A and B are shown apart, each in its own frame.
Chain A
């Protein structure tokens, strides 16, 4: 595929991401404005951060007038999973495009964009990520804007229905390869079981959601790599 084809594919695959983002960032916009921020500030946070958990935690610190160090540390811990994702993506991106692209692709490493991009067969062009970013970033920022302007502009049932879009998309990404490979289906089921354990077991349910993702990913992907190493050509 050439750059343009990658970009177009990215635009298309980015639509469900943008829908899910709209619903989540809508809530963010509402909360930010009710917490005392201006609409412009709320949108600026979404435009420059493009992350959900990190923004909600950051907003709490802003409202409580916490220190900037507290902000640094919180963002570092919550967003640590991006470190793992970026590392994985560093091996996934084609190597014949100029290196500078990686600085721009980095900005759009979100759970969703990474997940979709990293599960493509073979190497991926930065233009695929750009395509997804082109629809996902406006989805995220506009959701914040609309949420900030009026929390009641969108009826509840619509927000509720939109909220499931992103998970539907995740399943569309992971189920087909799981169908074909027993080791991938083991990874999918194992990861769902462990994250369920973290959601409900006492003590474990105190762990923040960012950490649950890191811990689950490291355990399950690590075990899978030991038990079922991937043959060379993958």
Chain B
């Protein structure tokens, strides 16, 4: 028997929502343990860093354009530019690198 696409979609959506909702809505206590508080303080940095590198290197059409985007973003972020500006500069670096490569290769 064929399972309806909507049954799959319902199950996917329900499981995904519950995983997000249960810890957020049901943990009512304010945590006092210094270890847990420090752990949670570091979680976003560890998480974002792990998601960024090395994934960024395979995000674009070529590793060279990705590397250009990575370096430009690093510099702009180091200068504390806004999120949008860093993102746009990285996109521009990728674009220029790929155009240049198409021109020369």
Q: B16 and A161: CB pair below 8 A?
A: no
Q: A164 and B47: CB pair below 8 A?
A: no
Q: B3 and A65: CB pair below 8 A?
A: yes
- Chain A at the B interface: mostly helix, strand, loop or mixed? helix
Asked whether B103 is an interface residue with its Cβ less than 8 Å from the other chain, the reply is: no
- Chain B at the A interface: mostly helix, strand, loop or mixed? helix
Q: Contacts A82-B19, A102-B24; is A87 near B40 (CB within 8 Å)?
A: yes
Bound CA–CA A119/B51 (angstroms)? 15
Q: Give the total of B residues in contact with A, Cβ under 8 Å.
A: 78
B5, B30, B35 interface centre (most CB from chain A within 10 Å) = B5
Chain A residues with CB under 8 A of B28: 99
Q: What is the chain A residue whose CB lies nearest that of B92?
A: A161
Asked whether B22 is an interface residue with its Cβ less than 8 Å from the other chain, the reply is: yes
Q: B55 and A167: CB pair below 8 A?
A: yes
Chain B nearest CB from A118 CB (Å) reads 4
Chain B residues with CB under 8 A of A54: 12, 16
Asked whether B104 is an interface residue with its Cβ less than 8 Å from the other chain, the reply is: no
Additional 12 contacts, C-beta under 8 A, given A75-B19, A118-B43, A220-B49: A51-B16, A82-B16, A86-B21, A91-B27, A91-B37, A157-B98, A164-B60, A167-B70, A170-B49, A216-B46, A221-B46, A225-B41
Provide 15 A-B residue pairs closer than 8 Å at the C-beta atoms, listed in order of the A residue: A61-B8, A75-B15, A79-B19, A86-B19, A86-B22, A90-B25, A107-B17, A119-B48, A168-B91, A174-B49, A190-B49, A192-B53, A220-B49, A224-B39, A234-B41
Interface residues of A (CB under 8 A from B): 12-13, 15-16, 19-20, 37, 41, 44-45, 48-51, 54-55, 58, 61-62, 65, 67-68, 71-72, 75-76, 79-92, 95, 99, 102-103, 105-107, 109, 111, 114-116, 118-119, 156-157, 160-179, 183-184, 187-192, 194-196, 199-200, 209, 212-213, 216-217, 220-222, 224-226, 228-230, 232, 234
